[in-house]
Structure 1
């Protein structure tokens, strides 16, 4: 897993690399510029396009000057650099690269005020005005310049971070910085790129390696980590000879209602394909025919007016919630399971029931897994203005209650009892369909049934679920939850 660092920590990584490689800071800047240009050229290979490069006078601007020089060397003749001269300070590396640019054939202009910009009509823009480290919105000339660039309505490539975007911390509602098409960032993505508000600043991002000291970066203290495929391979176990259905545990899925049997089927199907040895579905009486027809491998446990699960200890995993419905009977069922002090997987309607019973939240058994989407999360833990604060709350409760909180989004945040936040990289917009959460609950349940720890089960399930959807999206405009549920086994096999 990769450590994700703050802007200050990444600056420390720069300094450590310079001191210990050793490498001069100007040469590290050149390396960053080369990595940026290589990435840029994959997207923009038409050398006839005109490019405007806006450079501040710090190191981000120094990167921009080096990029201009390299693009000229790669056949881009129609380049103009705009030096953003809104202050007296400039970095020494910026000054060196400015002198190099003066000795080239590159056109340049100095901007003392945004109002001085007239008739700029580039095909592309590169934003190298301000780097990371900002913690408040742009004001004055910088805000006016960002507005001007945005109004040009051209494709913008940002160097490391869009001007005006916070690398970490709470993001303001009314973003007033540069709006990039793509950000090409160095060595690590900014933590805030994984939050939904970042779409206002950059449509996408790509990370390029500039050979900073990885041992130093990996050794830094942080709460945020990025799951990698190698992590999931380490978690997963190969099935061994002489194992049998009892080896892989018994999962109970308490789900579905009169009009929502699909949720029970999807969760049970995903659990089955994840490899649980036995799967039982506790369902509404009216769903028996559907279950027996669609999933003959799954055993049925019918729910009456009030159902109490006899001997819950015989199940290695109990999941409750998908399509369950909200009723006093289901509230009593959930409460009875919580009072047994057994770790559960709680999703959907069970989360909504839990939000009305804060007394039960405090009684959750250690290693319980909650899987809320944003609205369910806010019902449980209170309204939040932004995703940074939401994740901080999830982290706090995961530590306080010693549970796992799976906060679902494009990048799902798996908040662990030890305070770590694992960010899941897999999944895509083709999966934006009903039932995906039910399938994820089934995958988590299947892994817990096989005696994976709650933390490992949640991290691996999110990755496998999303990766299955990623592979399916290569051939499909949309991906259904049924496709994902049945594709899980193939994905696990591929990972192993």
Structure 2
């Protein structure tokens, strides 16, 4: 896992690297600038473009000065530096980089408090005004300058973070920050890059390694983790010879109504394709034909009234309940029956979550280690309205600990909160997957992994990653705008095979 750090922890990592590599802060800045330039020149190879590099007088501005110098050396001749002299306390590394800029005869001009903002003719603006240490909203000259640059409707590339953007903490709806086309960020994504409130300010980000000490970063106490491909390879188990369907568990999917059988079919299909040894769907009688036609591999229990059902609860490794289930009285009775009769971890999704929200006392009855998979509105119905995604992150940690459950909050970067207070961000998946049934498929995948004796935490980490990777494989190579949930479910075994190889 990649430990995601707060701004203060990133500064600690900088200081540790400087002291223990050892390397001077100026040389570390040079290394960061070179890494930025590599990505920038790959993305924008036209050296005839007019480029304006806006620099503050702190270390982010020092990065900008070094970047401008390197671009000019690479024959980006139409590069002009504009220094915002809104502070009379420049950092030492900024001062040294300004000397180097002058020695390289790179053109620059200065903007001071009260000056009229310059006419900007640049095709590309590099934003190196303020860096990751900002902890209060922009005001005065910086606010005015940022609003001006945003209003130009030019391509803006930010150095590390867009000016005015908070790396962690609450982002207000009216925050003033640079709206970047691309943010080239140092060492790792910033935590707030991974929440929806970043969308107006960061269309895309690219991470560049600047050589900070990975050992020190790993030693820092961070609850925020980014799931990486190597984590999936280390967790995913091989299928060994002489194993059989009993080895891989039996999953029960309680889902569907006559008018919402699609959810039950998708969830059951995903569970079977993700490797559960046996998958049984508990569905209404009217859904039998659809199930037998589409998924003959899945067994069925016909669902009538709760009293009429005779389920051998103990034979199942795990249970998923909720997709397409509805919120009628009999489904509430069914949910209560599951929570009373089954003491192993369960997966709760969709309508079952809404039943929990309406009957909060049932949350206390969920078996320890269980997994709930809400989207944002379901999450807020369960745990109370939040005014920000940072608030949701804090709520996930609190509620996962309180109820000793795993919370999978579905999002572009789906977040798993665990009972030990960790938050795992998943980085697979894409907008082509924004179509009906994707959540049902994710529930099926996680359920299959639980059935195969992965820990609940592993099932969440693997399930979110494999689900998103399946969608990436289907969408990205062919530039598909839409990927259907059923396609994702059927592609899961291919993705698992690649990782096992």
User: Could you tell me the TM-score, scaled by structure 1's length?
Assistant: 0.99
State the match for 2:320 in structure 1: 319
Structure 2 residue 40 is matched with structure 1 residue 30: no
**Distance in structure 2 (CA, Å) of the matches to 1:343 and 1:121:** 60
Distance 1:155 1:409 in 2: 27
1:410 is matched with which residue? 412
User: 1:83-127 CA deviation, whole Å, 9 max, x = no partner?
Assistant: 111111110000000011112221111101375223211000000
Unaligned runs of 5+ in 2: none
Secondary structure at the aligned position of 2:282 is classed as strand
SS at 1:451's partner residue?
A: coil
Farther-moved stretch of structure 1 (430-439 vs 339-348): 339-348
Aligned to 1:104: 104
Instruction: Find the aligned partners of 1:178 and 1:425 in 2 and give their Cα distance.
Output: 24
- Alignment pair present for 1:276 and 2:280: no
Structure 2 residue aligned with 1:458: 460
Moved over 6 A (4+): none
CA contact (8 A) 1:175 1:200 kept: no
Runs (5+) with no aligned partner, structure 1 = none
Q: Matches of 1:118 and 1:173 in 2, distance apart?
A: 28
CA contact (8 A) 2:317 2:344 kept: no
Per-residue CA deviation, residues 19-54 of structure 1 (Å, 9 max, x unaligned), is 111111111100000000001011100000001111
* Partners of 1:311 and 1:383 in 2: CA distance: 38
| Contact 1:114/1:145 (8 A) holds in 2 | no
Q: Aligned with 2:203: secondary structure? A: strand
**Distance in 2 separating the partners of 1:121 and 1:152:** 9
Are residue 21 (structure 1) and residue 21 (structure 2) matched?
A: yes
3-state SS of paired residue (1:116):
coil
State whether residues 114 and 144 of structure 1, in contact with CA within 8 Å, keep that contact through their aligned partners in structure 2: no
SS at match of 1:253: strand
- SS for the counterpart of 2:463 is helix
Alignment size in residue pairs? 496
1:467/1:76 Cα in 2 relative to 1: closer, same or farther (>3 Å)? same
- Of 478, 483, 486 in structure 1, the residue corresponding to residue 487 of structure 2 is 483
Asked if structure 1 preserves the Cα contact closer than 8 Å seen for 2:117 and 2:145, the reply is no
| Matched residue, 2:398 | 396
Shift of 1:309: 5.8
Verify the 8 A CA contact 1:370 1:406 in the aligned structure 2. Answer: yes
Aligned-residue Cα RMSD (Å) equals 1.0
C-alpha separation in 1, matches of 2:105 and 2:290: 73
Q: TM-score, normalised by structure 2?
A: 0.98
Check whether the contact 1:53–1:127 (CA below 8 A) recurs between aligned residues. Answer: yes
Mapping of residues 311-390 of structure 1, within 5 Å: 311-340=312-341, 341-390=343-392
Q: Deviations over 1:41-75 (max 9, x none)?
A: 11100000001111000000000000000000111
1:169-202 deviation line (CA, Å, top 9, x unaligned): 1111112111111100110110100000001211
